[in-house]
Chains A and B, each alone.
Chain A
Amino acid sequence: MQPVLLVEGLAKEFFLHEQRKTIPSCSNVCLESRQGKLTAIVGPTGAGKSSVLKCIYRTYLPSAGRIMFRDRSGQSTDLARADEHQMLRLRQREVGFVTQFLNCLPRKSALDVVAEPLISAGVNRTAARTSAGDMLARLAVPERLWCVPPATFSGGEKQRVNLARGLISRPRLLLLDEPTASLDPGTTDLAVKLIETLKEDGVAMIAIFHQPDLVRRLADDVVELAPPMVVKDNNKECLS
Protein backbone atom coordinates (compact mmCIF):
# COMPACT_ATOMS: atom_id res chain seq x y z
CA MET A 1 0.00 0.00 0.00
CA GLN A 2 1.21 3.54 -0.73
CA PRO A 3 2.29 5.63 2.25
CA VAL A 4 -0.07 8.29 3.55
CA LEU A 5 2.86 10.66 3.88
CA LEU A 6 6.26 10.67 2.24
CA VAL A 7 8.79 13.27 3.39
CA GLU A 8 11.93 13.68 1.30
CA GLY A 9 14.88 15.97 1.90
CA LEU A 10 12.96 18.20 4.29
CA ALA A 11 14.95 21.09 5.73
CA LYS A 12 13.98 24.05 7.82
CA GLU A 13 16.01 27.09 8.72
CA PHE A 14 14.93 30.36 10.21
CA PHE A 15 16.24 33.68 8.99
CA LEU A 16 16.17 36.30 11.73
CA HIS A 17 16.22 39.72 10.07
CA GLU A 18 17.08 41.70 13.17
CA GLN A 19 20.18 39.63 13.90
CA ARG A 20 20.90 38.81 10.25
CA LYS A 21 21.25 35.20 11.27
CA THR A 22 20.20 31.92 9.76
CA ILE A 23 19.33 29.27 12.31
CA PRO A 24 19.20 25.73 10.96
CA SER A 25 16.58 23.55 12.58
CA CYS A 26 16.48 20.28 10.69
CA SER A 27 17.93 19.12 7.41
CA ASN A 28 17.59 16.31 4.92
CA VAL A 29 14.81 14.59 6.84
CA CYS A 30 13.27 11.61 5.09
CA LEU A 31 10.40 9.61 6.50
CA GLU A 32 7.31 7.67 5.64
CA SER A 33 4.02 7.23 7.39
CA ARG A 34 1.62 4.38 6.65
CA GLN A 35 -1.96 3.55 7.54
CA GLY A 36 -2.22 2.02 10.99
CA LYS A 37 1.48 2.52 11.69
CA LEU A 38 3.27 4.85 14.05
CA THR A 39 6.55 6.47 13.07
CA ALA A 40 8.52 7.84 16.02
CA ILE A 41 10.96 10.71 15.57
CA VAL A 42 13.86 10.54 18.01
CA GLY A 43 17.00 12.59 18.51
CA PRO A 44 18.70 14.94 20.98
CA THR A 45 17.18 18.26 22.05
CA GLY A 46 17.48 20.82 19.32
CA ALA A 47 17.62 18.19 16.58
CA GLY A 48 14.46 19.70 15.13
CA LYS A 49 11.94 17.00 16.00
CA SER A 50 9.08 19.42 16.61
CA SER A 51 10.11 21.43 13.56
CA VAL A 52 9.52 18.40 11.36
CA LEU A 53 5.97 18.03 12.66
CA LYS A 54 5.34 21.77 12.35
CA CYS A 55 6.59 21.75 8.74
CA ILE A 56 4.21 18.90 7.92
CA TYR A 57 1.32 20.83 9.51
CA ARG A 58 2.66 24.00 7.83
CA THR A 59 2.92 25.97 11.04
CA TYR A 60 6.45 26.36 9.70
CA LEU A 61 7.20 27.04 6.06
CA PRO A 62 9.64 24.33 4.95
CA SER A 63 12.90 25.66 3.47
CA ALA A 64 13.51 22.65 1.22
CA GLY A 65 12.14 19.23 0.42
CA ARG A 66 8.88 17.55 -0.44
CA ILE A 67 6.04 16.50 1.86
CA MET A 68 3.76 14.34 -0.26
CA PHE A 69 0.41 13.63 1.39
CA ARG A 70 -2.04 11.17 -0.12
CA ASP A 71 -5.59 12.08 0.89
CA ARG A 72 -8.64 9.83 1.30
CA SER A 73 -9.55 10.23 -2.36
CA GLY A 74 -6.08 9.06 -3.38
CA GLN A 75 -4.88 12.47 -4.54
CA SER A 76 -1.34 13.57 -3.65
CA THR A 77 -0.50 17.08 -2.47
CA ASP A 78 2.92 18.50 -1.63
CA LEU A 79 2.23 20.11 1.73
CA ALA A 80 5.39 22.19 1.37
CA ARG A 81 3.72 23.97 -1.55
CA ALA A 82 -0.01 23.65 -0.89
CA ASP A 83 -1.90 26.94 -0.78
CA GLU A 84 -3.36 28.10 2.52
CA HIS A 85 -6.95 27.17 1.77
CA GLN A 86 -5.87 23.68 0.79
CA MET A 87 -3.97 23.43 4.06
CA LEU A 88 -6.96 24.61 6.09
CA ARG A 89 -9.18 22.05 4.38
CA LEU A 90 -6.72 19.25 5.06
CA ARG A 91 -6.38 20.32 8.69
CA GLN A 92 -10.13 20.19 9.07
CA ARG A 93 -10.62 16.81 7.46
CA GLU A 94 -7.44 14.78 7.21
CA VAL A 95 -4.47 15.97 9.24
CA GLY A 96 -4.58 16.36 13.02
CA PHE A 97 -1.96 17.73 15.40
CA VAL A 98 -1.77 17.21 19.14
CA THR A 99 0.70 19.65 20.60
CA GLN A 100 1.88 19.85 24.16
CA PHE A 101 -0.29 22.77 24.97
CA LEU A 102 -3.95 23.45 24.70
CA ASN A 103 -4.98 26.63 22.90
CA CYS A 104 -8.69 27.19 23.33
CA LEU A 105 -11.37 29.71 24.09
CA PRO A 106 -11.65 30.71 27.73
CA ARG A 107 -15.36 30.05 28.23
CA LYS A 108 -15.75 26.70 26.49
CA SER A 109 -16.29 23.64 28.66
CA ALA A 110 -13.88 20.72 28.36
CA LEU A 111 -16.63 18.69 26.72
CA ASP A 112 -17.20 21.34 24.05
CA VAL A 113 -13.48 21.84 23.49
CA VAL A 114 -13.16 18.12 22.75
CA ALA A 115 -16.34 17.99 20.64
CA GLU A 116 -15.36 20.98 18.50
CA PRO A 117 -13.39 19.15 15.76
CA LEU A 118 -16.36 16.85 15.16
CA ILE A 119 -18.81 19.74 15.07
CA SER A 120 -16.74 21.67 12.57
CA ALA A 121 -16.57 18.49 10.47
CA GLY A 122 -20.36 18.53 10.34
CA VAL A 123 -21.33 16.04 13.09
CA ASN A 124 -24.41 17.21 15.03
CA ARG A 125 -23.79 18.72 18.44
CA THR A 126 -25.43 16.02 20.55
CA ALA A 127 -23.59 13.16 18.86
CA ALA A 128 -20.32 15.11 19.03
CA ARG A 129 -20.74 15.73 22.75
CA THR A 130 -21.51 12.08 23.36
CA SER A 131 -18.27 10.97 21.70
CA ALA A 132 -16.42 13.75 23.50
CA GLY A 133 -17.64 12.33 26.82
CA ASP A 134 -16.55 8.89 25.72
CA MET A 135 -13.03 10.15 24.90
CA LEU A 136 -12.71 12.00 28.20
CA ALA A 137 -13.87 8.92 30.09
CA ARG A 138 -11.32 6.75 28.29
CA LEU A 139 -8.61 9.15 29.43
CA ALA A 140 -10.00 9.13 32.99
CA VAL A 141 -10.83 12.83 33.09
CA PRO A 142 -13.25 13.02 36.06
CA GLU A 143 -16.80 13.71 34.96
CA ARG A 144 -17.15 16.68 37.31
CA LEU A 145 -14.61 18.52 35.13
CA TRP A 146 -16.40 17.99 31.82
CA CYS A 147 -18.54 21.10 32.04
CA VAL A 148 -15.72 23.32 33.34
CA PRO A 149 -13.45 25.34 31.00
CA PRO A 150 -9.97 23.72 30.98
CA ALA A 151 -8.23 27.03 31.77
CA THR A 152 -7.98 26.11 35.47
CA PHE A 153 -7.07 22.43 34.94
CA SER A 154 -3.78 20.89 36.06
CA GLY A 155 -1.09 20.25 33.43
CA GLY A 156 -2.01 16.60 33.13
CA GLU A 157 -5.75 17.26 32.92
CA LYS A 158 -5.20 19.87 30.22
CA GLN A 159 -3.05 17.48 28.28
CA ARG A 160 -5.69 14.77 28.41
CA VAL A 161 -8.30 17.21 27.13
CA ASN A 162 -5.90 18.13 24.37
CA LEU A 163 -5.33 14.49 23.48
CA ALA A 164 -9.04 13.72 23.51
CA ARG A 165 -9.62 16.65 21.16
CA GLY A 166 -6.84 15.57 18.82
CA LEU A 167 -7.88 11.93 18.71
CA ILE A 168 -11.63 12.36 18.48
CA SER A 169 -11.97 12.99 14.76
CA ARG A 170 -9.73 10.07 13.68
CA PRO A 171 -7.84 12.01 11.05
CA ARG A 172 -6.05 10.15 8.27
CA LEU A 173 -2.71 11.43 9.54
CA LEU A 174 -2.10 12.38 13.15
CA LEU A 175 0.93 14.28 14.41
CA LEU A 176 1.72 13.94 18.10
CA ASP A 177 4.27 16.13 19.87
CA GLU A 178 5.02 14.70 23.32
CA PRO A 179 1.35 13.94 23.94
CA THR A 180 2.07 12.30 27.30
CA ALA A 181 4.81 14.56 28.66
CA SER A 182 2.85 15.66 31.73
CA LEU A 183 0.91 12.47 32.46
CA ASP A 184 1.51 10.07 35.35
CA PRO A 185 2.19 6.38 34.58
CA GLY A 186 -1.46 5.41 35.04
CA THR A 187 -2.91 7.96 32.65
CA THR A 188 0.00 7.42 30.25
CA ASP A 189 -1.17 3.81 29.96
CA LEU A 190 -4.67 4.98 29.12
CA ALA A 191 -3.25 7.27 26.43
CA VAL A 192 -1.19 4.41 25.03
CA LYS A 193 -4.28 2.20 24.81
CA LEU A 194 -6.12 4.95 22.97
CA ILE A 195 -3.26 5.40 20.52
CA GLU A 196 -3.30 1.65 19.95
CA THR A 197 -6.99 1.69 19.05
CA LEU A 198 -6.32 4.49 16.60
CA LYS A 199 -3.68 2.33 14.98
CA GLU A 200 -6.20 -0.48 14.68
CA ASP A 201 -8.55 1.99 13.02
CA GLY A 202 -5.87 2.68 10.41
CA VAL A 203 -4.79 6.17 11.46
CA ALA A 204 -1.22 6.94 10.30
CA MET A 205 0.76 8.60 13.08
CA ILE A 206 4.04 10.45 13.43
CA ALA A 207 5.00 11.03 17.04
CA ILE A 208 7.62 12.46 19.33
CA PHE A 209 7.74 10.81 22.76
CA HIS A 210 9.37 12.08 25.84
CA GLN A 211 9.76 8.56 27.29
CA PRO A 212 11.92 6.03 25.38
CA ASP A 213 9.79 3.09 26.53
CA LEU A 214 6.81 4.56 24.69
CA VAL A 215 8.81 4.44 21.47
CA ARG A 216 9.43 0.74 22.12
CA ARG A 217 5.78 0.10 22.90
CA LEU A 218 4.17 2.05 20.11
CA ALA A 219 6.53 2.68 17.21
CA ASP A 220 6.56 0.60 14.05
CA ASP A 221 9.33 2.76 12.61
CA VAL A 222 11.93 4.98 14.20
CA VAL A 223 13.53 7.96 12.45
CA GLU A 224 16.57 9.39 14.13
CA LEU A 225 17.45 13.03 13.58
CA ALA A 226 21.07 14.15 13.66
CA PRO A 227 22.08 16.75 16.26
CA PRO A 228 21.81 20.37 15.13
CA MET A 229 24.46 21.95 12.95
CA VAL A 230 26.40 25.10 13.78
CA VAL A 231 24.71 28.43 13.35
CA LYS A 232 25.53 30.26 10.13
CA ASP A 233 26.44 33.84 10.89
CA ASN A 234 25.61 36.11 8.01
CA ASN A 235 27.22 39.08 9.75
CA LYS A 236 30.63 37.53 9.32
CA GLU A 237 30.01 37.03 5.63
CA CYS A 238 29.07 40.68 5.37
CA LEU A 239 32.23 41.86 7.12
CA SER A 240 34.80 39.76 5.28
Chain B
Amino acid sequence: MSNRILEVCGLSRIYGSGCPLCVESTGPENDTNICPHCGSVVAVHGVSFDLFRGEILGIIGESGSGKSSTVKMLYFDDTPTAGEAVFFDNGERHELFRQNAAQQRSLRNKRFGMVYQNPHLGLNFQVSAGGNIAERLLMSDLAHYGEIRRRAQELLLRTEVLPERMDQNPKTFSGGMQQRVQIAKALVTRPPLLFLDEVTTGLDLSVQAAILDLILEIQQELNTAMIVVTHDLGVIRLLAGRTLVMKHGRVVEAGLTDQILEDPQHAYTQRLVASSL
Protein backbone atom coordinates (compact mmCIF):
# COMPACT_ATOMS: atom_id res chain seq x y z
CA MET B 1 0.00 0.00 0.00
CA SER B 2 1.27 3.43 -0.89
CA ASN B 3 1.60 6.10 1.73
CA ARG B 4 0.17 8.71 -0.57
CA ILE B 5 -2.87 10.57 0.71
CA LEU B 6 -3.10 13.31 -1.91
CA GLU B 7 -1.87 13.73 -5.44
CA VAL B 8 -2.34 17.09 -7.13
CA CYS B 9 -1.64 17.50 -10.81
CA GLY B 10 -1.63 20.66 -12.92
CA LEU B 11 -3.90 22.61 -10.59
CA SER B 12 -4.81 25.97 -12.13
CA ARG B 13 -7.11 28.88 -11.39
CA ILE B 14 -7.61 31.89 -13.62
CA TYR B 15 -9.86 34.70 -12.38
CA GLY B 16 -11.43 36.48 -15.34
CA SER B 17 -12.45 35.55 -18.85
CA GLY B 18 -8.99 34.32 -19.83
CA CYS B 19 -7.38 34.37 -23.29
CA PRO B 20 -4.98 32.06 -25.15
CA LEU B 21 -2.01 34.21 -24.05
CA CYS B 22 -2.75 34.26 -20.29
CA VAL B 23 -0.36 31.49 -19.31
CA GLU B 24 2.61 32.45 -21.46
CA SER B 25 2.39 36.12 -20.52
CA THR B 26 2.37 35.57 -16.76
CA GLY B 27 4.54 33.83 -14.17
CA PRO B 28 7.86 34.51 -12.47
CA GLU B 29 9.70 35.24 -15.76
CA ASN B 30 7.15 37.88 -16.63
CA ASP B 31 7.07 39.11 -13.05
CA THR B 32 3.29 39.28 -12.90
CA ASN B 33 0.21 37.14 -12.49
CA ILE B 34 -1.99 39.52 -14.48
CA CYS B 35 -2.38 38.83 -18.19
CA PRO B 36 -1.45 42.03 -20.09
CA HIS B 37 -3.77 41.03 -22.96
CA CYS B 38 -7.03 40.35 -21.16
CA GLY B 39 -6.44 41.47 -17.58
CA SER B 40 -7.27 38.09 -16.06
CA VAL B 41 -5.44 36.99 -12.93
CA VAL B 42 -3.55 33.73 -13.26
CA ALA B 43 -3.71 33.00 -9.53
CA VAL B 44 -2.45 29.41 -9.79
CA HIS B 45 -1.02 27.57 -12.75
CA GLY B 46 0.22 24.00 -13.16
CA VAL B 47 0.72 23.25 -9.49
CA SER B 48 1.57 19.59 -8.91
CA PHE B 49 2.67 17.81 -5.75
CA ASP B 50 1.93 14.82 -3.63
CA LEU B 51 1.46 14.40 0.08
CA PHE B 52 2.04 11.34 2.27
CA ARG B 53 0.04 10.20 5.28
CA GLY B 54 1.05 12.16 8.39
CA GLU B 55 3.35 14.45 6.43
CA ILE B 56 3.50 18.24 6.83
CA LEU B 57 4.03 20.13 3.59
CA GLY B 58 4.75 23.86 3.67
CA ILE B 59 3.72 26.32 0.96
CA ILE B 60 5.61 29.56 1.09
CA GLY B 61 5.71 32.66 -1.09
CA GLU B 62 4.96 36.36 -1.13
CA SER B 63 1.51 37.88 -0.90
CA GLY B 64 -0.60 37.07 -3.96
CA SER B 65 1.56 34.16 -5.08
CA GLY B 66 -1.40 31.76 -5.03
CA LYS B 67 -0.83 29.89 -1.77
CA SER B 68 -4.32 30.37 -0.37
CA SER B 69 -5.96 29.83 -3.74
CA THR B 70 -4.25 26.45 -3.93
CA VAL B 71 -5.57 25.15 -0.60
CA LYS B 72 -8.99 26.74 -1.11
CA MET B 73 -9.49 24.67 -4.24
CA LEU B 74 -8.49 21.48 -2.45
CA TYR B 75 -10.95 22.28 0.36
CA PHE B 76 -13.67 23.06 -2.23
CA ASP B 77 -13.88 26.72 -1.22
CA ASP B 78 -13.09 27.50 -4.86
CA THR B 79 -13.21 25.65 -8.18
CA PRO B 80 -10.12 25.16 -10.35
CA THR B 81 -10.11 26.09 -14.02
CA ALA B 82 -7.90 23.09 -14.73
CA GLY B 83 -6.14 20.25 -12.98
CA GLU B 84 -6.80 17.11 -11.04
CA ALA B 85 -6.48 16.05 -7.43
CA VAL B 86 -6.88 12.56 -6.03
CA PHE B 87 -7.50 11.90 -2.35
CA PHE B 88 -6.69 8.36 -1.17
CA ASP B 89 -8.74 7.32 1.85
CA ASN B 90 -9.33 3.88 3.36
CA GLY B 91 -8.36 2.18 0.13
CA GLU B 92 -10.67 4.41 -1.89
CA ARG B 93 -9.69 6.87 -4.57
CA HIS B 94 -11.58 10.14 -4.69
CA GLU B 95 -11.12 12.36 -7.74
CA LEU B 96 -11.79 15.60 -5.92
CA PHE B 97 -12.96 17.73 -8.83
CA ARG B 98 -15.15 15.07 -10.44
CA GLN B 99 -17.32 14.57 -7.40
CA ASN B 100 -20.82 15.95 -7.04
CA ALA B 101 -21.61 18.62 -4.47
CA ALA B 102 -22.87 16.14 -1.88
CA GLN B 103 -19.74 14.01 -2.11
CA GLN B 104 -17.57 17.09 -1.81
CA ARG B 105 -19.51 18.30 1.22
CA SER B 106 -19.10 14.93 2.86
CA LEU B 107 -15.32 14.95 2.41
CA ARG B 108 -15.14 18.50 3.70
CA ASN B 109 -17.18 17.73 6.77
CA LYS B 110 -15.63 14.41 7.67
CA ARG B 111 -12.23 13.86 6.10
CA PHE B 112 -10.73 17.34 5.67
CA GLY B 113 -10.18 20.16 8.11
CA MET B 114 -9.36 23.81 7.51
CA VAL B 115 -7.97 26.50 9.77
CA TYR B 116 -8.13 29.99 8.30
CA GLN B 117 -6.08 33.05 9.14
CA ASN B 118 -9.34 34.89 9.63
CA PRO B 119 -11.33 33.23 12.44
CA HIS B 120 -14.53 34.66 10.96
CA LEU B 121 -14.18 32.21 8.08
CA GLY B 122 -13.73 29.19 10.30
CA LEU B 123 -15.95 29.98 13.26
CA ASN B 124 -19.61 30.71 13.69
CA PHE B 125 -19.80 33.76 15.94
CA GLN B 126 -23.51 33.18 16.61
CA VAL B 127 -22.79 30.23 18.88
CA SER B 128 -20.46 29.26 21.73
CA ALA B 129 -17.03 27.67 21.35
CA GLY B 130 -18.52 24.31 22.25
CA GLY B 131 -21.38 24.96 19.85
CA ASN B 132 -18.93 25.49 17.02
CA ILE B 133 -17.47 22.09 17.60
CA ALA B 134 -20.87 20.46 18.04
CA GLU B 135 -21.89 21.98 14.71
CA ARG B 136 -19.08 20.22 12.94
CA LEU B 137 -19.77 16.92 14.67
CA LEU B 138 -23.45 17.15 13.67
CA MET B 139 -22.43 17.69 10.06
CA SER B 140 -20.33 14.58 10.27
CA ASP B 141 -23.42 12.56 11.28
CA LEU B 142 -22.74 12.28 14.98
CA ALA B 143 -26.07 12.90 16.72
CA HIS B 144 -25.71 11.74 20.31
CA TYR B 145 -25.82 14.85 22.51
CA GLY B 146 -23.73 13.51 25.38
CA GLU B 147 -21.10 12.16 23.02
CA ILE B 148 -20.92 15.47 21.14
CA ARG B 149 -20.49 17.40 24.37
CA ARG B 150 -17.79 14.98 25.54
CA ARG B 151 -15.84 15.19 22.27
CA ALA B 152 -16.09 18.98 22.21
CA GLN B 153 -14.80 19.18 25.77
CA GLU B 154 -11.96 16.79 25.03
CA LEU B 155 -10.81 18.75 21.99
CA LEU B 156 -11.02 22.13 23.69
CA LEU B 157 -9.01 20.73 26.55
CA ARG B 158 -6.48 19.33 24.10
CA THR B 159 -6.12 22.71 22.39
CA GLU B 160 -5.81 24.39 25.78
CA VAL B 161 -9.04 26.35 25.76
CA LEU B 162 -10.16 26.69 29.37
CA PRO B 163 -13.21 24.54 30.21
CA GLU B 164 -15.21 27.52 31.46
CA ARG B 165 -14.81 29.03 28.00
CA MET B 166 -16.70 26.20 26.36
CA ASP B 167 -20.08 27.88 26.69
CA GLN B 168 -18.85 31.37 25.87
CA ASN B 169 -19.00 32.99 22.48
CA PRO B 170 -15.61 33.00 20.68
CA LYS B 171 -16.32 36.62 19.70
CA THR B 172 -15.03 37.56 23.16
CA PHE B 173 -11.80 35.51 22.83
CA SER B 174 -8.29 36.72 22.05
CA GLY B 175 -6.90 36.02 18.57
CA GLY B 176 -4.78 33.15 19.80
CA MET B 177 -7.73 31.61 21.63
CA GLN B 178 -9.92 31.88 18.54
CA GLN B 179 -7.27 30.01 16.56
CA ARG B 180 -7.26 27.26 19.19
CA VAL B 181 -11.02 26.91 18.88
CA GLN B 182 -10.68 26.76 15.09
CA ILE B 183 -8.06 24.06 15.42
CA ALA B 184 -10.27 22.11 17.84
CA LYS B 185 -13.20 22.45 15.44
CA ALA B 186 -11.16 21.29 12.46
CA LEU B 187 -9.75 18.30 14.32
CA VAL B 188 -12.78 17.01 16.17
CA THR B 189 -13.66 14.63 13.34
CA ARG B 190 -10.05 13.37 13.33
CA PRO B 191 -9.57 14.18 9.64
CA PRO B 192 -6.56 12.57 7.97
CA LEU B 193 -5.92 15.82 6.05
CA LEU B 194 -5.78 19.34 7.46
CA PHE B 195 -5.20 22.66 5.70
CA LEU B 196 -3.76 25.58 7.67
CA ASP B 197 -3.68 29.00 6.03
CA GLU B 198 -1.51 31.57 7.88
CA VAL B 199 -2.86 30.40 11.23
CA THR B 200 -0.30 32.26 13.30
CA THR B 201 -0.01 35.43 11.24
CA GLY B 202 -0.69 38.54 13.27
CA LEU B 203 -0.45 36.85 16.67
CA ASP B 204 2.11 37.70 19.36
CA LEU B 205 5.34 35.73 19.05
CA SER B 206 4.77 33.80 22.27
CA VAL B 207 1.22 32.91 21.24
CA GLN B 208 2.52 31.89 17.80
CA ALA B 209 5.07 29.59 19.39
CA ALA B 210 2.47 27.93 21.59
CA ILE B 211 0.15 27.33 18.63
CA LEU B 212 2.94 25.88 16.48
CA ASP B 213 3.85 23.56 19.36
CA LEU B 214 0.26 22.49 19.63
CA ILE B 215 -0.03 21.80 15.90
CA LEU B 216 3.06 19.64 15.94
CA GLU B 217 1.98 17.71 19.03
CA ILE B 218 -1.38 16.99 17.48
CA GLN B 219 0.20 15.95 14.22
CA GLN B 220 2.33 13.44 16.11
CA GLU B 221 -0.63 12.13 18.12
CA LEU B 222 -3.13 11.80 15.29
CA ASN B 223 -0.73 11.38 12.36
CA THR B 224 -2.65 14.07 10.47
CA ALA B 225 -1.26 15.08 7.08
CA MET B 226 -1.12 18.87 6.83
CA ILE B 227 -0.61 21.55 4.24
CA VAL B 228 0.69 24.66 5.95
CA VAL B 229 0.44 27.94 4.03
CA THR B 230 2.55 30.79 5.35
CA HIS B 231 4.86 33.59 4.34
CA ASP B 232 6.88 33.04 7.51
CA LEU B 233 10.03 30.96 6.96
CA GLY B 234 10.22 30.34 10.72
CA VAL B 235 6.90 28.52 10.62
CA ILE B 236 7.91 26.08 7.90
CA ARG B 237 11.30 25.55 9.55
CA LEU B 238 9.54 24.28 12.67
CA LEU B 239 6.67 22.42 11.05
CA ALA B 240 7.26 21.22 7.51
CA GLY B 241 9.43 18.38 6.25
CA ARG B 242 9.03 19.48 2.64
CA THR B 243 8.20 22.87 1.19
CA LEU B 244 6.89 24.33 -2.06
CA VAL B 245 7.92 27.87 -2.99
CA MET B 246 5.34 29.79 -5.04
CA LYS B 247 5.60 32.96 -7.05
CA HIS B 248 3.02 34.47 -9.38
CA GLY B 249 0.92 31.33 -9.26
CA ARG B 250 3.71 28.88 -10.05
CA VAL B 251 5.77 26.53 -7.94
CA VAL B 252 9.31 27.79 -8.56
CA GLU B 253 11.03 25.34 -6.25
CA ALA B 254 10.21 22.30 -4.14
CA GLY B 255 12.42 20.40 -1.73
CA LEU B 256 13.22 19.33 1.79
CA THR B 257 12.58 22.33 4.04
CA ASP B 258 16.14 22.52 5.38
CA GLN B 259 17.42 22.40 1.79
CA ILE B 260 15.06 25.19 0.72
CA LEU B 261 16.30 27.33 3.62
CA GLU B 262 20.01 26.53 3.47
CA ASP B 263 20.60 25.80 -0.21
CA PRO B 264 17.84 27.57 -2.16
CA GLN B 265 18.19 27.04 -5.90
CA HIS B 266 15.84 29.53 -7.51
CA ALA B 267 16.76 33.22 -7.65
CA TYR B 268 13.47 34.11 -5.98
CA THR B 269 13.95 31.67 -3.10
CA GLN B 270 17.47 32.97 -2.58
CA ARG B 271 16.11 36.50 -2.25
CA LEU B 272 13.30 35.36 0.06
CA VAL B 273 15.70 33.54 2.38
CA ALA B 274 18.28 36.35 2.33
CA SER B 275 15.65 38.93 3.21
CA SER B 276 14.49 36.96 6.23
CA LEU B 277 17.93 36.64 7.82
By a beta-carbon cutoff of 8 Å, the part of chain A in contact with chain B is 14, 16-18, 54, 58-61, 84-85, 87-88, 103, 105-108, 119-120
Q: List 24 A-B contacts (CB under 8 A).
A: A17-B270, A18-B267, A18-B274, A54-B263, A58-B256, A58-B259, A59-B262, A60-B259, A60-B262, A60-B263, A61-B259, A61-B263, A84-B242, A88-B256, A103-B238, A105-B212, A105-B216, A105-B238, A106-B209, A107-B209, A107-B210, A107-B213, A119-B220, A120-B220
Name the residue on A nearest B237 (C-beta). Answer: A103
Q: Sorted from nearest, which 4 A-B pairs have the closest CB atoms?
A: A17-B267, A106-B209, A107-B213, A60-B263
Asked if residues B212 and A54 are in contact (CB atoms below 8 Å), the reply is no
Candidates A61, A88, A120; contact of B242 at CB < 8 Å: A88
Which of B55, B212, B254, B258 counts the most A-chain CB atoms under 10 A from its CB? B258
The residue in chain B whose Cβ has the minimal distance to the Cβ of A12 is: B263
Cα A127 to Cα B38 with chains together (Å): 63
Asked if A108 and B256 sit within 8 Å, CB to CB, the answer is no
Q: In the complex, how many angstroms separate the beta carbon of B50 from the nearest chain A beta carbon?
A: 8
Report the tally of A-B residue pairs with Cβ distances under 8 A.
52
Residues of B within 8 A of A87 (CB): 256
Mark contacts of B237-277 with chain A using CB atoms, 8 A cut-off: 1 yes-contact digit, 0 otherwise: 11001100000000000111011001101110011001000
Chain B's nearest CB lies how many Å from the CB of A229?
A: 19
Residues on the A chain within 8 Å of B209, using CB: 105-107
In addition to A59-B256, A61-B263, 11 A-B residue pairs with Cβ atoms within 8 Å of each other are A17-B266, A18-B271, A59-B263, A88-B256, A103-B237, A103-B238, A105-B216, A106-B210, A107-B209, A107-B210, A108-B213
Could you tell me if A84 and B220 are in contact, using CB atoms closer than 8 angstroms?
A: no
B262:A54 contact, CB within 8 angstroms: yes
